Homo-oligomer: A and B are copies of this chain.
Protein backbone atom coordinates (compact mmCIF):
# COMPACT_ATOMS: atom_id res chain seq x y z
CA UNK A 1 0.00 0.00 0.00
CA UNK A 2 1.27 3.46 -0.81
CA UNK A 3 1.54 6.27 1.69
CA UNK A 4 -1.71 8.19 2.10
CA UNK A 5 -1.54 11.76 3.35
CA UNK A 6 -4.35 14.13 4.18
CA UNK A 7 -3.82 17.89 4.25
CA UNK A 8 -6.35 18.11 7.08
CA UNK A 9 -4.13 16.02 9.35
CA UNK A 10 -2.08 18.02 11.83
CA UNK A 11 1.15 16.30 10.88
CA UNK A 12 0.56 16.51 7.12
CA UNK A 13 3.52 18.86 6.64
CA UNK A 14 5.89 16.39 8.24
CA UNK A 15 4.73 13.54 6.02
CA UNK A 16 4.76 15.69 2.90
CA UNK A 17 8.26 16.99 3.63
CA UNK A 18 9.46 13.44 4.18
CA UNK A 19 8.06 12.46 0.79
CA UNK A 20 9.66 15.46 -0.89
CA UNK A 21 13.08 14.79 0.54
CA UNK A 22 13.00 11.00 0.14
CA UNK A 23 15.86 9.89 -2.03
CA UNK A 24 14.52 7.46 -4.59
CA UNK A 25 17.83 6.72 -6.17
CA UNK A 26 20.91 5.17 -4.71
CA UNK A 27 23.43 7.05 -6.79
CA UNK A 28 26.54 4.90 -6.57
CA UNK A 29 29.66 7.04 -6.39
CA UNK A 30 31.26 5.99 -9.63
CA UNK A 31 33.10 9.28 -10.19
CA UNK A 32 36.59 7.86 -9.86
CA UNK A 33 35.94 4.82 -12.04
CA UNK A 34 34.43 7.11 -14.68
CA UNK A 35 37.38 9.52 -14.54
CA UNK A 36 39.72 6.62 -15.21
CA UNK A 37 37.64 5.50 -18.21
CA UNK A 38 37.59 9.00 -19.65
CA UNK A 39 41.35 9.34 -19.23
CA UNK A 40 41.86 5.98 -20.91
CA UNK A 41 39.76 6.91 -23.94
CA UNK A 42 41.55 10.26 -24.22
CA UNK A 43 44.93 8.56 -24.07
CA UNK A 44 44.34 5.49 -26.23
CA UNK A 45 41.33 6.33 -28.39
CA UNK A 46 39.82 3.48 -30.39
CA UNK A 47 42.02 0.86 -28.71
CA UNK A 48 40.52 1.81 -25.35
CA UNK A 49 37.00 1.67 -26.81
CA UNK A 50 37.56 -1.84 -28.15
CA UNK A 51 39.01 -3.05 -24.87
CA UNK A 52 36.35 -1.43 -22.66
CA UNK A 53 33.55 -2.72 -24.88
CA UNK A 54 35.00 -6.19 -24.62
CA UNK A 55 35.12 -5.91 -20.86
CA UNK A 56 31.78 -4.23 -20.12
CA UNK A 57 29.57 -5.37 -22.99
CA UNK A 58 31.14 -8.82 -23.55
CA UNK A 59 31.34 -7.80 -27.17
CA UNK A 60 34.43 -8.34 -29.27
CA UNK A 61 34.68 -5.42 -31.68
CA UNK A 62 37.69 -4.57 -33.74
CA UNK A 63 38.20 -0.85 -34.34
CA UNK A 64 36.52 -1.07 -37.75
CA UNK A 65 33.50 -2.75 -36.17
CA UNK A 66 32.83 0.18 -33.85
CA UNK A 67 30.34 1.64 -36.27
CA UNK A 68 27.16 0.13 -37.68
CA UNK A 69 27.53 -0.06 -41.44
CA UNK A 70 24.75 0.98 -43.80
CA UNK A 71 24.27 -2.72 -44.57
CA UNK A 72 23.91 -3.54 -40.84
CA UNK A 73 21.25 -0.87 -40.55
CA UNK A 74 19.45 -1.97 -43.72
CA UNK A 75 19.30 -5.53 -42.47
CA UNK A 76 17.95 -4.51 -39.08
CA UNK A 77 15.34 -2.17 -40.55
CA UNK A 78 14.12 -4.92 -42.86
CA UNK A 79 13.23 -7.02 -39.79
CA UNK A 80 10.84 -4.43 -38.38
CA UNK A 81 7.14 -5.27 -38.88
CA UNK A 82 5.30 -2.80 -41.10
CA UNK A 83 2.95 -1.76 -38.28
CA UNK A 84 5.85 -0.87 -36.01
CA UNK A 85 7.44 1.10 -38.80
CA UNK A 86 4.20 2.98 -39.45
CA UNK A 87 3.83 3.77 -35.75
CA UNK A 88 7.39 5.10 -35.58
CA UNK A 89 6.83 7.20 -38.70
CA UNK A 90 3.61 8.67 -37.31
CA UNK A 91 5.38 9.49 -34.06
CA UNK A 92 8.34 11.03 -35.88
CA UNK A 93 6.13 13.23 -38.04
CA UNK A 94 4.18 14.51 -35.03
CA UNK A 95 7.32 15.13 -32.96
CA UNK A 96 8.88 16.98 -35.89
CA UNK A 97 5.78 19.15 -36.40
CA UNK A 98 5.76 20.13 -32.72
CA UNK A 99 9.46 20.87 -32.52
CA UNK A 100 9.60 22.83 -35.78
CA UNK A 101 7.49 25.45 -34.01
CA UNK A 102 10.16 25.91 -31.35
CA UNK A 103 12.76 27.47 -33.62
CA UNK A 104 13.56 30.82 -32.01
CA UNK A 105 13.57 34.09 -33.90
CA UNK A 106 16.49 36.43 -34.50
CA UNK A 107 16.00 40.06 -33.54
CA UNK A 108 17.53 43.39 -34.51
CA UNK A 109 16.49 46.95 -33.69
CA UNK A 110 18.02 50.41 -33.52
CA UNK A 111 17.44 52.40 -30.37
CA UNK A 112 17.12 56.12 -29.75
CA UNK A 113 20.91 56.60 -29.44
CA UNK A 114 21.66 54.97 -32.80
CA UNK A 115 22.82 51.69 -31.34
CA UNK A 116 21.76 48.69 -33.41
CA UNK A 117 21.21 45.76 -31.08
CA UNK A 118 19.90 42.23 -31.32
CA UNK A 119 20.78 38.57 -31.39
CA UNK A 120 21.13 35.70 -33.81
CA UNK A 121 20.48 32.01 -33.21
CA UNK A 122 22.65 29.36 -34.82
CA UNK A 123 22.61 25.57 -34.49
CA UNK A 124 25.20 23.51 -32.67
CA UNK A 125 27.39 21.92 -35.38
CA UNK A 126 27.55 18.36 -34.07
CA UNK A 127 25.54 16.52 -31.44
CA UNK A 128 25.92 13.12 -29.84
CA UNK A 129 23.00 11.12 -28.56
CA UNK A 130 23.39 8.36 -25.99
CA UNK A 131 20.91 5.48 -26.23
CA UNK A 132 20.96 2.90 -23.44
CA UNK A 133 21.22 -0.76 -24.32
CA UNK A 134 19.22 -3.77 -23.25
CA UNK A 135 15.78 -3.32 -21.61
CA UNK A 136 15.93 0.47 -21.62
CA UNK A 137 16.86 0.80 -25.30
CA UNK A 138 13.83 2.78 -26.33
CA UNK A 139 13.27 3.72 -29.97
CA UNK A 140 10.91 6.46 -28.80
CA UNK A 141 13.82 8.13 -26.97
CA UNK A 142 15.86 8.10 -30.16
CA UNK A 143 13.11 10.09 -31.86
CA UNK A 144 12.70 12.46 -28.90
CA UNK A 145 16.42 13.31 -28.86
CA UNK A 146 17.32 13.22 -32.53
CA UNK A 147 14.36 15.07 -34.00
CA UNK A 148 14.83 18.32 -32.02
CA UNK A 149 18.50 18.29 -33.05
CA UNK A 150 17.55 17.90 -36.69
CA UNK A 151 14.84 20.56 -36.41
CA UNK A 152 17.46 22.92 -34.96
CA UNK A 153 19.69 22.41 -37.98
CA UNK A 154 22.45 20.36 -36.35
CA UNK A 155 24.68 19.18 -39.20
CA UNK A 156 26.10 16.01 -37.73
CA UNK A 157 24.26 13.68 -35.39
CA UNK A 158 26.05 10.68 -33.89
CA UNK A 159 24.40 7.98 -31.77
CA UNK A 160 26.21 5.71 -29.31
CA UNK A 161 24.35 2.59 -28.21
CA UNK A 162 25.87 -0.36 -26.36
CA UNK A 163 25.17 -3.78 -27.85
CA UNK A 164 25.71 -6.16 -24.94
CA UNK A 165 26.60 -9.55 -26.30
CA UNK A 166 26.06 -8.09 -29.79
CA UNK A 167 22.33 -7.54 -29.24
CA UNK A 168 20.59 -4.51 -30.73
CA UNK A 169 16.92 -3.62 -30.92
CA UNK A 170 16.20 -3.23 -34.67
CA UNK A 171 13.60 -0.57 -33.85
CA UNK A 172 16.38 1.59 -32.41
CA UNK A 173 18.27 1.48 -35.70
CA UNK A 174 15.08 2.18 -37.64
CA UNK A 175 14.30 5.14 -35.36
CA UNK A 176 17.81 6.47 -36.04
CA UNK A 177 17.23 6.18 -39.76
CA UNK A 178 13.79 7.83 -39.63
CA UNK A 179 15.18 10.69 -37.53
CA UNK A 180 18.14 11.19 -39.87
CA UNK A 181 20.99 10.14 -37.59
CA UNK A 182 24.33 10.22 -39.46
CA UNK A 183 26.45 7.75 -37.49
CA UNK A 184 25.61 4.89 -35.10
CA UNK A 185 28.38 3.51 -32.89
CA UNK A 186 28.32 0.20 -30.96
CA UNK A 187 29.66 1.79 -27.79
CA UNK A 188 28.09 2.41 -24.41
CA UNK A 189 28.83 3.59 -20.90
CA UNK A 190 31.27 6.25 -19.83
CA UNK A 191 33.55 5.31 -22.71
CA UNK A 192 30.89 6.40 -25.20
CA UNK A 193 30.52 9.77 -23.50
CA UNK A 194 34.31 10.19 -23.47
CA UNK A 195 34.55 9.34 -27.17
CA UNK A 196 31.80 11.82 -28.07
CA UNK A 197 33.35 14.59 -25.97
CA UNK A 198 37.01 14.15 -26.88
CA UNK A 199 36.97 12.17 -30.11
CA UNK A 200 39.09 9.18 -31.10
CA UNK A 201 40.72 8.15 -34.37
CA UNK A 202 37.32 6.97 -35.63
CA UNK A 203 34.85 9.25 -33.88
CA UNK A 204 35.01 12.99 -34.34
CA UNK A 205 34.14 14.93 -31.19
CA UNK A 206 30.72 16.57 -30.88
CA UNK A 207 29.69 19.83 -29.24
CA UNK A 208 26.65 18.65 -27.29
CA UNK A 209 25.66 15.32 -25.75
CA UNK A 210 22.11 14.35 -24.79
CA UNK A 211 20.28 11.22 -23.81
CA UNK A 212 19.63 9.09 -20.73
CA UNK A 213 21.91 6.47 -19.23
CA UNK A 214 22.94 4.60 -16.12
CA UNK A 215 25.01 5.98 -13.22
CA UNK A 216 28.24 5.68 -15.24
CA UNK A 217 26.81 7.58 -18.17
CA UNK A 218 25.39 10.26 -15.89
CA UNK A 219 28.71 10.68 -14.07
CA UNK A 220 30.58 10.86 -17.35
CA UNK A 221 28.23 13.55 -18.67
CA UNK A 222 28.78 15.55 -15.50
CA UNK A 223 32.55 15.25 -15.91
CA UNK A 224 32.68 16.30 -19.57
CA UNK A 225 30.27 19.20 -19.01
CA UNK A 226 32.11 22.33 -20.06
CA UNK A 227 34.14 20.56 -22.71
CA UNK A 228 30.78 19.91 -24.38
CA UNK A 229 27.23 20.87 -23.54
CA UNK A 230 24.97 18.28 -21.93
CA UNK A 231 21.27 17.99 -21.27
CA UNK A 232 20.07 17.56 -17.72
CA UNK A 233 20.98 14.50 -15.68
CA UNK A 234 17.84 12.37 -15.65
CA UNK A 235 16.63 10.85 -12.40
CA UNK A 236 13.83 8.33 -11.85
CA UNK A 237 10.61 9.26 -13.61
CA UNK A 238 7.46 10.46 -11.88
CA UNK A 239 3.81 11.27 -12.54
CA UNK A 240 1.40 13.32 -10.48
CA UNK A 241 -2.32 13.03 -11.22
CA UNK A 242 -4.76 15.58 -9.87
CA UNK A 243 -8.23 14.12 -10.19
CA UNK A 244 -11.75 15.16 -9.27
CA UNK A 245 -15.26 14.78 -10.60
CA UNK A 246 -16.59 11.83 -12.57
CA UNK A 247 -13.40 9.94 -13.40
CA UNK A 248 -12.85 6.34 -14.43
CA UNK A 249 -10.77 4.84 -11.61
CA UNK A 250 -9.29 2.20 -13.92
CA UNK A 251 -7.91 4.85 -16.28
CA UNK A 252 -6.26 6.68 -13.42
CA UNK A 253 -4.91 3.43 -11.97
CA UNK A 254 -3.43 2.49 -15.34
CA UNK A 255 -1.84 5.92 -15.67
CA UNK A 256 -0.25 5.52 -12.23
CA UNK A 257 0.93 2.03 -13.11
CA UNK A 258 2.31 3.18 -16.46
CA UNK A 259 4.67 5.36 -14.47
CA UNK A 260 5.40 2.69 -11.89
CA UNK A 261 6.28 0.04 -14.47
CA UNK A 262 9.28 2.08 -15.69
CA UNK A 263 11.44 1.43 -12.70
CA UNK A 264 11.20 0.45 -9.04
CA UNK A 265 12.52 3.97 -8.32
CA UNK A 266 9.72 5.63 -10.31
CA UNK A 267 7.04 7.51 -8.41
CA UNK A 268 3.28 7.76 -9.00
CA UNK A 269 1.25 10.26 -6.98
CA UNK A 270 -2.50 10.85 -6.90
CA UNK A 271 -3.86 14.06 -5.39
CA UNK A 272 -7.60 14.44 -5.03
CA UNK A 273 -10.14 16.14 -2.79
CA UNK A 274 -12.43 13.14 -3.31
CA UNK A 275 -11.86 10.37 -0.78
CA UNK A 276 -14.17 7.93 -2.55
CA UNK A 277 -12.26 8.42 -5.80
CA UNK A 278 -8.96 7.91 -3.99
CA UNK A 279 -10.21 4.62 -2.59
CA UNK A 280 -11.57 3.48 -5.94
CA UNK A 281 -8.27 4.23 -7.68
CA UNK A 282 -6.25 2.50 -4.97
CA UNK A 283 -8.48 -0.55 -5.29
CA UNK A 284 -8.15 -0.52 -9.09
CA UNK A 285 -4.36 -0.40 -8.78
CA UNK A 286 -4.37 -3.44 -6.52
CA UNK A 287 -6.69 -5.28 -8.93
CA UNK A 288 -4.72 -4.43 -12.10
CA UNK A 289 -1.20 -4.70 -10.72
CA UNK A 290 -0.98 -8.53 -10.66
CA UNK A 291 -2.07 -8.67 -14.30
CA UNK A 292 0.93 -6.69 -15.56
CA UNK A 293 3.98 -8.43 -17.05
CA UNK A 294 6.11 -5.94 -15.12
CA UNK A 295 4.13 -6.42 -11.90
CA UNK A 296 7.26 -6.86 -9.80
CA UNK A 297 8.73 -3.51 -10.87
CA UNK A 298 5.45 -1.61 -10.81
CA UNK A 299 4.51 -3.14 -7.47
CA UNK A 300 7.80 -2.15 -5.87
CA UNK A 301 7.46 1.41 -7.15
CA UNK A 302 3.86 1.72 -5.96
CA UNK A 303 4.63 0.15 -2.57
CA UNK A 304 7.79 2.17 -1.88
CA UNK A 305 7.06 5.49 -3.57
CA UNK A 306 3.38 5.57 -4.49
CA UNK A 307 1.51 8.32 -2.67
CA UNK A 308 -2.11 9.39 -2.37
CA UNK A 309 -2.82 12.86 -0.98
CA UNK A 310 -6.29 14.00 0.05
CA UNK A 311 -6.80 17.76 -0.14
CA UNK A 312 -9.53 20.17 0.84
CA UNK A 313 -9.95 21.38 -2.74
CA UNK A 314 -8.28 21.62 -6.14
CA UNK A 315 -6.43 24.86 -5.38
CA UNK A 316 -4.67 23.13 -2.54
CA UNK A 317 -3.86 20.28 -4.92
CA UNK A 318 -2.30 22.71 -7.40
CA UNK A 319 -0.22 24.32 -4.67
CA UNK A 320 1.11 20.94 -3.53
CA UNK A 321 1.86 20.04 -7.12
CA UNK A 322 4.04 23.14 -7.43
CA UNK A 323 6.00 22.09 -4.37
CA UNK A 324 6.59 18.70 -5.98
CA UNK A 325 7.31 20.22 -9.43
CA UNK A 326 6.46 16.93 -11.14
CA UNK A 327 7.95 15.70 -14.38
CA UNK A 328 4.48 14.70 -15.66
CA UNK A 329 1.27 16.30 -14.42
CA UNK A 330 -2.13 14.93 -15.43
CA UNK A 331 -5.13 17.10 -14.69
CA UNK A 332 -8.14 14.75 -14.77
CA UNK A 333 -10.75 17.27 -13.69
CA UNK A 334 -13.81 18.91 -15.20
CA UNK A 335 -12.04 22.16 -16.16
CA UNK A 336 -8.38 21.24 -16.68
CA UNK A 337 -7.54 24.57 -18.37
CA UNK A 338 -8.61 26.50 -15.28
CA UNK A 339 -6.58 24.25 -13.01
CA UNK A 340 -3.55 24.45 -15.32
CA UNK A 341 -3.60 28.21 -14.91
CA UNK A 342 -2.88 27.68 -11.21
CA UNK A 343 0.16 25.48 -11.89
CA UNK A 344 3.64 26.89 -12.27
CA UNK A 345 6.22 24.10 -11.98
CA UNK A 346 5.75 20.99 -14.14
CA UNK A 347 7.68 19.47 -17.02
CA UNK A 348 4.65 18.43 -19.06
CA UNK A 349 0.98 19.03 -18.39
CA UNK A 350 -1.70 16.65 -19.69
CA UNK A 351 -5.18 18.13 -19.75
CA UNK A 352 -8.25 16.02 -19.23
CA UNK A 353 -9.05 12.34 -19.02
CA UNK A 354 -8.56 11.75 -22.76
CA UNK A 355 -4.89 12.71 -22.54
CA UNK A 356 -3.10 9.80 -20.89
CA UNK A 357 0.53 10.50 -20.24
CA UNK A 358 1.47 7.42 -22.28
CA UNK A 359 0.21 9.14 -25.43
CA UNK A 360 2.67 11.94 -24.71
CA UNK A 361 5.46 9.41 -24.29
CA UNK A 362 5.09 8.43 -27.91
CA UNK A 363 2.91 10.30 -30.32
CA UNK A 364 1.38 13.55 -29.08
CA UNK A 365 4.34 15.61 -30.27
CA UNK A 366 5.86 17.31 -27.19
CA UNK A 367 9.14 15.88 -25.96
CA UNK A 368 9.17 13.06 -23.41
CA UNK A 369 12.62 14.00 -22.10
CA UNK A 370 11.55 16.05 -19.11
CA UNK A 371 12.97 17.45 -15.88
CA UNK A 372 12.86 14.93 -13.02
CA UNK A 373 13.45 15.07 -9.26
CA UNK A 374 11.85 18.50 -8.77
CA UNK A 375 14.06 20.13 -11.41
CA UNK A 376 10.98 21.47 -13.22
CA UNK A 377 11.45 24.31 -10.71
CA UNK A 378 14.32 25.57 -12.86
CA UNK A 379 14.57 23.58 -16.08
CA UNK A 380 12.60 22.51 -19.12
CA UNK A 381 12.20 19.39 -21.18
CA UNK A 382 14.41 18.75 -24.15
CA UNK A 383 13.65 20.99 -27.12
CA UNK A 384 15.08 22.67 -30.17
CA UNK A 385 16.52 25.23 -27.75
CA UNK A 386 18.99 22.61 -26.51
CA UNK A 387 20.58 22.46 -29.95
CA UNK A 388 20.85 26.16 -30.77
CA UNK A 389 22.78 29.00 -29.18
CA UNK A 390 22.51 32.74 -29.36
CA UNK A 391 25.12 35.32 -30.32
CA UNK A 392 24.32 38.83 -29.15
CA UNK A 393 25.02 41.50 -31.75
CA UNK A 394 25.70 45.19 -31.26
CA UNK A 395 26.79 48.01 -33.54
CA UNK A 396 27.25 51.49 -32.14
CA UNK A 397 27.17 54.53 -34.36
CA UNK A 398 29.59 57.33 -33.44
CA UNK A 399 26.57 59.13 -31.99
CA UNK A 400 25.59 56.13 -29.88
CA UNK A 401 29.12 55.83 -28.53
CA UNK A 402 29.06 59.57 -27.66
CA UNK A 403 25.77 59.10 -25.84
CA UNK A 404 26.58 56.02 -23.79
CA UNK A 405 30.38 55.77 -23.85
CA UNK A 406 31.04 58.21 -20.98
CA UNK A 407 28.97 56.11 -18.58
CA UNK A 408 30.97 53.04 -19.59
CA UNK A 409 34.22 54.94 -18.97
CA UNK A 410 33.00 55.90 -15.52
CA UNK A 411 32.04 52.33 -14.62
CA UNK A 412 35.28 50.88 -16.01
CA UNK A 413 37.33 53.27 -13.91
CA UNK A 414 35.26 52.43 -10.83
CA UNK A 415 36.17 48.78 -11.44
CA UNK A 416 39.85 49.62 -11.89
CA UNK A 417 39.88 48.60 -15.57
CA UNK A 418 41.68 51.49 -17.23
CA UNK A 419 42.32 49.88 -20.61
CA UNK A 420 38.54 49.34 -20.85
CA UNK A 421 38.08 53.06 -20.21
CA UNK A 422 40.81 54.12 -22.60
CA UNK A 423 39.50 51.94 -25.43
CA UNK A 424 36.34 54.08 -25.31
CA UNK A 425 38.05 57.39 -24.55
CA UNK A 426 40.37 57.05 -27.56
CA UNK A 427 37.35 56.86 -29.82
CA UNK A 428 35.51 59.69 -28.05
CA UNK A 429 38.60 61.92 -28.43
CA UNK A 430 38.60 61.32 -32.17
CA UNK A 431 34.92 62.28 -32.29
CA UNK A 432 35.49 65.39 -30.22
CA UNK A 433 38.41 66.47 -32.40
CA UNK A 434 36.20 66.01 -35.44
CA UNK A 435 33.42 68.22 -34.11
Interface segment, A43-51, A254-262, A274-282?
A254-262
Q: A416-B293, A426-B250 are in contact. Are A87 and B407 (CB under 8 A)?
A: yes
Q: A139-B415, A427-B356 are in contact. Are A361 and B88 (CB under 8 A)?
A: no
Q: Which residue of B lies closest to A98 (CB)?
A: B117
Q: A292 near B: Cβ within 8 Å?
A: yes
A79 neighbours in B (Cβ, 8 Å) = none
- Whether the pair B395, A355 counts as a contact (CB closer than 8 A) is yes
A:52-111 near B, CB below 8 Å: 83-84, 86-88, 90-91, 94, 97-98, 101-102, 104, 107, 109, 111
- Whether the pair B207, A391 counts as a contact (CB closer than 8 A) is no
With both chains docked as a complex, state the minimum distance between the C-beta of A284 and any C-beta of chain B, in angstroms.
10
Give the docked Cα–Cα distance between A418 and B430 (Å).
Answer: 75
Q: A117-B366, A416-B294, A417-B261 are in contact. Are A346 and B391 (CB under 8 A)?
A: yes
Give the docked Cα–Cα distance between A341 and B367 (Å).
Answer: 32
Give the docked Cα–Cα distance between A358 and B352 (Å).
Answer: 53
Q: A131 near B: Cβ within 8 Å?
A: no
Q: A168 near B: Cβ within 8 Å?
A: no
> Can you name 28 A-B residue pairings with CB atoms under 8 Å?
A87-B410, A90-B407, A101-B107, A111-B365, A115-B364, A115-B365, A116-B351, A124-B378, A139-B411, A139-B415, A140-B411, A207-B377, A207-B378, A222-B222, A225-B233, A250-B426, A254-B422, A261-B417, A294-B419, A336-B395, A345-B391, A350-B395, A354-B396, A355-B395, A355-B396, A363-B404, A363-B407, A377-B389
